[in-house]
Structure 1
Amino acid sequence: MFTDSHCHLNFEELRSQLPAIRVAMAEARVDRALCICTTMEEFPEVHALALAHDNFWATAGVHPDNEGVEEPTLERLVDCARQTRVVAVGETGLDYYGMEDRKGGRSIADLEWQRTRFRTHIEAAQTVRKPLVIHTRSASDDTLAILREHGEDGREGQAGGVFHCFTESLDVAREALDMGFYISFSGIVTFKSAQALREVAAFVPEDRILIETDSPYLAPVPYRGKVNTPAYVPYVAQQLADVRGVPLEQIAQVTSRNFEQLFAGVTA
């Protein structure tokens, strides 16, 4: 019934609990999950999850905020993205959040390595004709500009993809939608402070909306602050149903259909 379009089941908080997580998913009617890669070093582990379970799929990519890891080349990303049950490139994008605190006082100009890495992912996605899973945080202008630079404007034959764990403004959502991208909402949409995000969730067209957990992070209310799992994605769906004034089953149906539409090969 429900599909978690973005989770990190190989992370330490969840790895040892996989059997229990799968039981909880079944009980919550969460039928499928996309396991997201954040470094090249972890790709074999993420890919193994997809190979071992017929309701998991994988991506290939390096998170924009990861430093001190293997830098992905175009050739390496293409090779990984062409593997069985790998349905997307990413997560990738730009993260300028907390420049002073988290990045040692570096300027945005100092983060050219992030922009170079993002461009490599876009080229890989276009090469293999698979969508991008995009992370953008405090960097939406540059994220959109680089996508446009590479022709990602919604035309036939472009990679397209999804802006995952969306927390940007309604104007950014409009631009992303105009460029052909999907918008995915996480447990953040259930937070008391997220009224502006709920307004975005009410605006996004039905055929472009996805739901996710980003587990083990960002557990929705009423589990906020706890370890998140794909079994909690129905709480995200319920919040979307509430703000859009539609039945929960409708959100489950359309987000699962959109998942299949975006990520070719996940209907099995």
Structure 2
Amino acid sequence: MDQKTEALYQFLVDNATDFTQDWLKRQRIISGSDYSAYAPSEIMERVKEQNSNYVRLVAKSLNQTEEEMKETISAWTSQTAADRIKSKTDLTEVAWNSGVFRRVYWEYVQKFVSQTDLEITLDDVFTWEKKLNYTLDYVFETFIIVFMEILMNRLASQATLIRELSAPVITLTREVGLLPLIGEIDTTRARGLMESTLTQSIDAQINTLILDLSGVVMVDTMVAHEIFKLMDALKLIGVRTIVTGIRPEVAQTAVQLGIKFSEITTEGNLQNVIRKIFQR
């Protein structure tokens, strides 16, 4: 690192706390956001620490190779993005603050140029611009990637939970489970039954599953096909299926559509099945 770049680096590091105070003065009031001017004190202190560290990391990039900078920045953005996503801070606010941070950063570079006794040339400024702006761009890029990755993983987990709650396998005994289906079964839900039910059946270590259709008001050929596929898959993992609660209108529709339930074990209602199980 040459003398002038070293001096700029030291100036930025030494003024990281003052930088953060100037950055905080420009924050807006946004309910629930970590960036809000009136955020709770414990959140504010953490944000101050993160921002001051951010100032130092960006300054450090002045003397790093591209690979070294990316390694350093990636570690920071991973932690910071995880913190932001826990709050109500959205990407719009993140983007706005990225611009604020950049403006304040260059104001401090300008302060350095005006205060130093060193002779700063236009070439020096453009060299720093290339380094610093590339680093700031990389910070924003990686932050968005990590932020969205965490968000999408969370949404996927929630979707899985919703699917499981919409098709819960209830353990009646150590060997018998119950899957009550309620409401309309569309294509998406019918296909989701496969993975959820197989996983829950394996986890519960059951060998018999009662599939209760008393809460289902309509079954078409596609839904019936998916249910048959589910029973075939259950059979492959050693789980016998008993279908119960087929409503009269569903049975009538099944006959009209040519859907055959003759090859599967059925019972008129759930009470009969449970009675037989416990008698056995």
Task: Answer yes or no: same fold by TM over 0.5.
Answer: no
Which is higher, the Rg of structure 1 or of structure 2? Answer: 2
Which structure: greater strand fraction? 1
Normalising by the residue count of structure 1, what TM-score does the alignment of the two structures yield?
0.30
Which structure: greater helix fraction? 2
